[in-house]
Amino acid sequence: MAATTYEVGQVRRGRVTRVAEFGAFVELEPGIEGLAHASSFPPTGRTGGWAKSVAVGTTGAFEVLSMDTAQKRIGLALVDEASSRAAGAASPEGAFAPGTIVTGKVERHEKFGVFVFLSAGRTGLMPLAETGVDRDMDILKAFPIGSEVEVAVLEVDQAGGRIRLSRKAVAEQRERAELREYAARADAAPQGSLGSLAENLRNALRGR
């Protein structure tokens, strides 16, 4: 296996040759095979549910997640065919920039929060305080494993690869956007009663 041919972050076309309990084996080219681990697929909430998307013979785009030249192992992850990465383009660095709103899938629950699968190799943590759910509510029922959830990126630790998420911030961002839109409309309206409305909205924005 030539180390210069395959590098972490590359996207390659491949064909699934075998599906096991722990993942799918993918032929990238004759004699070169990688493994897409079960944990690299979006959670479905059902045991082994990930395997339905990668039947033997399935072809698709796969991202190289890891390389072990000594053991001749390549770690892979299936890439969404609708994404620009599947067409060979690299994912922009700002895909998970702070303030960005993204949709992910609930991966697992912990006492301190909910882990959300964002894309292959990228999982973020939504602390309990950022779920927007009352403390006495059952988090497992509010966020079932495999369910989609819209979250805002609060913080990204590039060195450690940690991503901090918030569902509560999504509503706050949209509320601020609506206030700005209403304020802009009021400013453009004729002077009069609407003028005081614009002033009230501007004051509300300043106080946020």
84: left (phi over 0), alpha (psi -120 to 50) or beta: alpha
Residues of the chain with pLDDT under 50: 1-4, 88-94
Beta-carbon contacts of 77 under 8 Å, excluding residues fewer than 6 positions away, are 36, 37, 40, 41, 62, 63, 65, 120, 121
Task: Just give the CATH number of 96-166.
Answer: 2.40.50.140
Q: Where are the domains of the chain?
A: 11-87, 96-166, 170-206
Domains 11-87 and 96-166 are alike in CATH topology: yes
pLDDT at 128: 92
pLDDT at 60: 80
Answer whether 50's CB lies under 8 Å from 34's CB.
no
Which pairing describes strands 32-37 and 73-79: parallel, antiparallel, or unpaired? parallel
pLDDT at 125: 93
pTM: 0.50
pLDDT at 58: 78
CA distances from 174 to 88, 177, 180, 188, 194 (A): 33, 5, 10, 21, 22
Q: Tell me how far apart the alpha carbons of residues 6 and 162 are, in angstroms, rounded to a whole number.
A: 25
pLDDT at 143: 92
pLDDT at 28: 85
Decide if domain 11-87 falls under CATH 3.90.79.10.
Answer: no
pLDDT at 126: 94
pLDDT at 3: 42
Q: What is the pLDDT of residues 23-57, one digit of tens each?
A: 889 888 877 888 988 888 877 777 777 777 777 88
pLDDT at 1: 44
Distance from chain centroid for Cα 2:
31
Answer whether 18's CB lies under 8 Å from 59's CB.
no
